[in-house]
Amino acid sequence: MKTKYELKLLLIILPFFVFICCKTKLSYKDRFEGFQRGILRVNIRIDYKESTDEVPYDNGFHNILLESGKKRANRLLESYVKNIKVNDKKIMNAINSIPNVIKTARIIQQDCNDDYCEAFIDFDILEWEKELNIKKD
């Protein structure tokens, strides 16, 4: 009788455990790229065939994703500044403060499978937005 009870318990607990372990950190609506509430989020996806001989699950590949995210964020911020209408001094201050934004990079989710690694990287742009006197939602 004990084995039937253990089997039932296992059948109840196992799906719950799989759901918790396999659930991604970000919900579908949080898997975006862009500006929102003082954050710039970028999405980086690197196919292994296009990358170096790095092993996808080692710390080196984590660093490749982070550096790629920093480069993308830098391009997005520079492009954004060049397309808004503020005075030249604010534009120069914003461009000069981009390196400070890039330093705030943090990977909030990284998923790797057999073909590619994908990461979502957040950058704190709250002070940068204040400097430009803009608000993005």
Q: Is residue 1 part of a domain?
A: no
Q: Is residue 21 part of a domain?
A: no
Residues 6+ apart with CB under 8 A from 69: 42, 44, 105, 107, 119, 121
Tally the domains of the chain: 1
Q: Does residue 16 carry a pLDDT above 60? A: no
Domain that holds residue 45: 27-132
pLDDT tier, 120 (very low <50, low <70, confident <90, very high otherwise): very high
pLDDT at 20: 47
Q: Is residue 124 part of a domain?
A: yes
Going across the sheet that includes 39-47, the strands are 34-36, 39-47, 116-124, 106-112
Mean pLDDT of the region 120-134:
87
Comparing 23-27, 36-40, 59-63, 104-108, the range with the smallest average pLDDT is 23-27
Q: Is residue 86 part of a domain?
A: yes
Mean pLDDT of the region 48-60:
57
Q: Is residue 52 part of a domain?
A: yes
Mean pLDDT of the region 98-106:
94
Q: How far apart are CA 78 and CA 95, in angstroms?
A: 7
The pTM of the full predicted model, rounded to 2 decimals, is 0.71
pLDDT at 62: 83
Q: Is residue 90 part of a domain?
A: yes
Write out the two tokens for 137. Answer: 């939602």
Q: How far apart are CA 110 and CA 121, in angstroms?
A: 9
